[in-house]
Amino acid sequence: MLAQSTPSPRTRLLAVALAASLSLGAAPAQAASVLAGAPGLALFADAKVTPEQAASARKSVQERAQSLRKAGDHGSAAELLSEEAAKRSDPVLYLDAADAYKAAGTEDRSRPDLETGIEKARVGLDILHFLQDPRCDPEWQAVAASKISAEIGRGEKIIAASEQAIKDMDRKVEAPAPEEDDEKTRKKAPKDGRGLIAVGSLLTVVGVAGLGMIGAGVALSAGAQKDVDDVDLTDMDFEQQIADIDAKGKAANNIAYAGIAVGAVGLATGIALLVVGVKKRKKYRAEHGSDENTARVQVLPTAGRGQAGLVLLGRF
C-alpha cells in the first residue's frame, strides 16, 4: 500500500529533508569528532618541526590575538588561537587559546567558554607531556625541552583558574540574593536632612532650657537680694541668716551662669543644624519630590488651665 502511493515532489522533498535532519541530529558526537580529527592530517606532512620554527610560526598568530585581546575581544582571540593551534598541533597556542577563553568566560560569565578553555589547556598539556615521552618523533619538537616544564605550569594554572571561575559562578547562581540586604536598603532613611533637623531641634530645646536656667537663676538671685535687704540687723542670728541667703544667691548665680553656657551652645549649634537640615530637606524634596516620610518640625501654641506656651513637634 505504501509502495503504491505516489507522493508529490513537494512532499518528497519534505520527507528527504526530514530524514536528513533527523539523521544529522542523531550523530552530533560523530560529526564533532571528525572535525576534532582534522589535526591528524598534519601527520602525513611529516615535516620537520623545530622549536625555533614553531616559535617563529606562532609569533604572528600571537600578535594578532594580542591586538584582539587589547581591544577587549577575548572571544575572537580565543577562536583564532584555537584554530591555529589545531592547524599546527602547537601546545603553546593551545594554552594561549585556553587563556583567552578563560578571559572571555570570566568577562561574559560564560561557563561554556570556561569549559572550552579547560579542554584546550588539557590538549596543550597532553602534547607537552608527550613531547617528553620517548615515543615522540624527534623531528617533531614544537617546544624546546627547557621550556616544557614552564608551559606545563602555565597550563595547570589556567585550568585551576578556569575551574575556580566556574565554581564561583555556580556559587553565585546557587545563593539567592540576600533579602535582608534588600530590606535594609528599603528601610534606610533617605538623606533628606532629617538627622540634622532632629539633632538641631534637640539642641535648640536644650538651648531654650538654658535660657530657662538663666531666668531661674536671675529670679532666685533677685529673691536672695530681696531677702538680704529684708534681714533685720537687730536679730541675734542675722549673720547666720545673711550667710544662708548668700549661699542661696551664689547657687542662683551658678544656675544663671550654667544657663548662659548651655543656652549659648545649645541655641547656636541647634539653630545652625536646623538651618542646614532644613536646607538639605528642601534640596532633597526638589530632587525627589515631597514625601510623607520626610522630616517635619512644627511649633504649635498650647494653652491650658493656668498654663500657656509653645509645643515643638518633630517627626524625623
Binding site for another protein (CB under 8 A): 2, 5-8, 11-12, 14-16, 18-27, 29-30, 33-34, 36-40, 42-44, 89, 119, 122-123, 125-127, 129-130, 133-138, 140
Which residue number, 138 or 176, has a Cβ lying nearer to another protein?
A: 138
Shortest approach of another protein to residue 134 CB, angstroms? 8
Q: How far is the CB of 35 from another protein (least distance, A)?
A: 9
C-beta of 40 vs 176, nearer to another protein: 40
Q: Look-up: residue for cell 533527523?
A: 22
Nearer to another protein by C-beta: 24 or 312?
24
Q: How far is the CB of 154 from another protein (least distance, A)?
A: 14
Residue-wise DSSP of the chain: -TTT----HHHHHHHHHHHHHHHHHH-HHHHHHHHHTGGGGGGGG---B-HHHHHHHHHHHHHHHHHHHHTT-HHHHHHHHHHHHHHHT-HHHHHHHHHHHHHHHHHHT-HHHHHHHHHHHHHHHHHHHHHTSTTS-TTB-SS-HHHHHHHHHHHHHHHHHHHHHHHHHHHHHHSPPPHHHHHHHHHSPPSSSHHHHHHHHHHHHHHHHHHHHHHHHHHHHHHHHHHHHH--TTSTTHHHHHHHHHHHHHHHHHHHHHHHHHHHHHHHHHHHHHHHHHHHHHHHHHHH---TTS-EEEEEEEEETTEEEEEEEEE-
Nearer to another protein, 40 or 306 (CB): 40
Residue 19 vs 247, nearer CB to another protein: 19
State in angstroms the smallest separation of the CB of 170 from another protein.
21
Taking the complex as a whole, the smallest distance from the CB of residue 49 to another protein amounts, in Å, to 9
Q: Which is nearer to another protein, 30 or 185 (CB)?
A: 30
Q: 289 in the Ramachandran plot: left (φ > 0), alpha (ψ -120 to 50) or beta?
A: left
**297 is written with which cell numbers?**
518640625
- Comparison of 42 and 209: residue with beta carbon closer to another protein: 42
Least distance from another protein to the Cβ atom of residue 92, Å = 13
Cell of 45: 606532512
State the nearest-atom distance from the C-beta of 131 to another protein, in Å: 9
State which residue, 41 or 303, has the beta carbon closest to another protein. 41
**How far apart are CB 93 and another protein at their closest, in Å?**
12
